[in-house]
Chains A and B, each alone.
Chain A
């Protein structure tokens, strides 16, 4: 099975603007593969390099060395992003647009025909439960509603690969449940989902495979039960892998 998403010895360095400050290495030769149809969790503490990895995959940041591919195409080519959907961590959209206008705008970028655009917009707004607010400007939306609009725009082109950066961040339990349902539905449709999250409980529930990254280094990758191993939970396994010493009560 060919990898939908692949990185080869991906290294990213950021040179500091401060005088005499060392270059910061965000990723140290990351090798990662995500197969078609799987839900892949990308885990790590803050500053581990998760967002940097996503930024490289999305073409925001060029790699210092190594390569990254989406559907076999180098990520530096815009066409590599034709079949992906992306939900950023913090979702802000054009406040003066309505949800419908925003989706229509993104649909145009994907060159979707008008009839298909109309159909997709209706479907997606129903999926994310924003039909009642489709004509309202986004500035009047709550955080949860904005997150849902973000999810809708990530799905506008019916992507084969979804890249989600902390999709449940800031959501209430109901919202988180809905996001999990959507991810499960996408998986059932054969889509590939690649997402980062701090909610390890959700990751355990939803993901087929996970990768754990720490200080730019890939520490572990495999099925959830393989990673969990002898540990009681994924959380304990995660803490152990990144080298965090827990205080144990006898």
Chain B
């Protein structure tokens, strides 16, 4: 476990020493503050459009950070030959994969914390309310989704040759799931066989990342808390997928030549 934590620590250091996070955070803040400065019929309490915009930017930024950070981990180690002195230590490949995953996932968690604090401050400046538990539910499940995305990108980094192709494919897959994942069953029902069965199989096979994504509406429109049992179930469901991707990554990495 300590090896995994050591590797994770390096990944987190890398994230806060690179510029990606700061650029995206400042962009998000700038866009939100500009939109907040717009005068809408002299009403200073209008806030939901801001919340929606801010949450959308947070989702986009966090996905960019998660995928680009993870996609370059193993390829960069290979390219810069830092993999050799690392694996020459008493560190197994499985520990390395889990360390990279943990590092990227925790780094995403820190990123989300910063973003959601800003979001809370922005919303509170107009609403004068802090529904902390609601924000916590949304942020927690958002973080779990990023765990799945990180695991997927890590697997992709071992399968695809270039980080750019891995990133592109991950973005396409994640964006597709977020936008149409919920409706695949409706699409399936409208198709004749055998397409119906194929699409239905695909619908049940993909991780439904859109479930936490659509929670944004609950936050934007001040809906009451979701039952904690549902939060726990969804987290377990998504973590199962993350675990599956990680196990696949370990199996692939075992067979890969190091240099």
One digit per residue, 1 when the CB lies within 8 angstroms of any chain A CB and 0 when it does not, for chain B 247-259 equals: 0000000000111
Give the Cβ gap from B142 to chain A, nearest Cβ, in Å. Answer: 27
Give the number of A-B contacts (CB < 8 Å). 74
Give the chain A neighbours of B82 by CB distance below 8 A.
92-94
What is the CA–CA distance of A87 and B85 in the complex, to the nearest angstrom? 7
Q: Mark B79-107, 1 if CB is under 8 A from A, else 0.
A: 01110110111111000000000000000
With both chains docked as a complex, state the minimum distance between the C-beta of A23 and any C-beta of chain B, in angstroms: 15
Q: A81-B88, A86-B84, A96-B13 are in contact. Are A60 and B18 (CB under 8 A)?
A: no
Interface residues of A in 115-162 (CB under 8 A from B): 150, 153-154
Measured between beta carbons, the chain B residues less than 8 angstroms from A163 are 88
> With A94-B14, A108-B2 in contact, is A60–B89 under 8 Å at CB?
no
User: A101 contacts which chain B residues (CB < 8 A)?
Assistant: 13
Q: Is B3 an interface residue (CB 8 A)?
A: yes
Q: List 8 A-B contacts (CB under 8 A).
A: A55-B259, A59-B88, A94-B10, A94-B14, A105-B6, A108-B5, A109-B91, A110-B89
Residue from B5, B10, B18, B88 in contact with A97 in the complex, judged by beta carbons closer than 8 Å: B10
Taking CB atoms, residues of chain A closer than 8 Å to B80 are: 92-95
> B75 at interface (Cβ–Cβ under 8 A)?
no
Interface size class of A (residues with CB under 8 A): 20 to 34
**Any B CB within 8 A of the CB of A88:** yes
Residues of B within 8 A of A91 (CB): 81
| Residues in A whose Cβ lies below 8 Å from that of B85 | 86-88, 93, 106, 150, 153-154
**B120 is an interface residue with CB less than 8 A from chain A:** no
For B80, give the chain A residue with the smallest CB separation: A92
Count residues on chain B whose CB falls below 8 Å from chain A CBs: 24
Q: Which of A55, A84, A93, A96 contacts B258 (CB 8 A)?
A: A55
User: What distance in Å separates the Cβ of A152 from its nearest Cβ neighbour in chain B?
Assistant: 11
Given contacts A88-B81, A90-B81, contact A78 B13 (CB under 8 A): no
Contacting B at CB under 8 A, from A71-88, are 78-79, 81-82, 84, 86-88
Residues of B close to A3: CB separation below 8 A? none
Q: Which single member of A58, A81, A87, A109 contacts B6 (CB below 8 Å)?
A: A109
Given contacts A81-B88, A90-B81, A92-B81, contact A61 B6 (CB under 8 A): no
Tell me, yes or no, whether A64 is within 8 Å of chain B by CB. Answer: no
B13 adjacent to A86 (CB under 8 Å): no
- How far does the Cβ of A144 sit from chain B's closest Cβ, in whole Å? 17
Point out the residues of chain B lying under 8 angstroms from A84, CB to CB. Answer: 88
Q: Inside 8 A of B259's CB, which chain A residues have their CB?
A: 55, 60
Chain A residues with CB under 8 Å of B9's CB are 105, 108
Q: Is the CB of B17 within 8 A of A81?
A: no
Docked pose: A82 CA to B89 CA in angstroms: 7
Quick check: A109 and B3 within 8 Å, CB to CB? yes
